[in-house]
Amino acid sequence: MVEAQLLSKNQQIVLDIIENAKAPLKAYSILFNVQKKGINAPQQIYRALDKLIEIGKIHKIESKNAFVACKNANCEVSKATAFSICERCEKVEELNDLKLSKYLSSYSDKTGMKYKKYNLEFFGLCKKCK
């Protein structure tokens, strides 16, 4: 059993906002949302984001410069992330497909290079948008 990580005040504030959001949040949109809580500078947000990413509580959607909460217990370990992104409504879901992650985690290319980490972003139209 892994000990639950204790979060600092700012880390908890930022995580709460991301977890309660319906869509990926951008750093500055988080900042604007916490100014009433006394956080005033981008650094404070980015530091919390960095830590939350490091411990696997959130992920960055690289193609959008936005952040989502992880809903997948084993991401802390694997550093393997996969997302589906709707190109119309921008809805993002973290994929949690064991077969896919096994396939990619064991992937090594022709040079024999082995990977410790990957990020996959799929684009298409979600059920509602197609």
Checking 55-60 for CB contacts under 8 A at 24+ apart, the result is 55/5, 57/5, 57/15, 58/15, 58/18, 59/83, 59/94
Q: Which of 15, 70, 82, 92 binds Zn ion (CB under 5 A)?
A: 70
72 contributes a contact to Zn ion by CB under 5 A: yes
Contact segment (CB under 7 A) with DNA among 33-41, 75-83, 101-109, 111-119 equals 33-41
- Of 47, 130, 125, nearest in space to 86 by CA: 125
8 contributes a contact to DNA by CB under 7 A: yes
Q: Which of 52, 61, 86, 92 binds Zn ion (CB under 5 A)?
A: 86
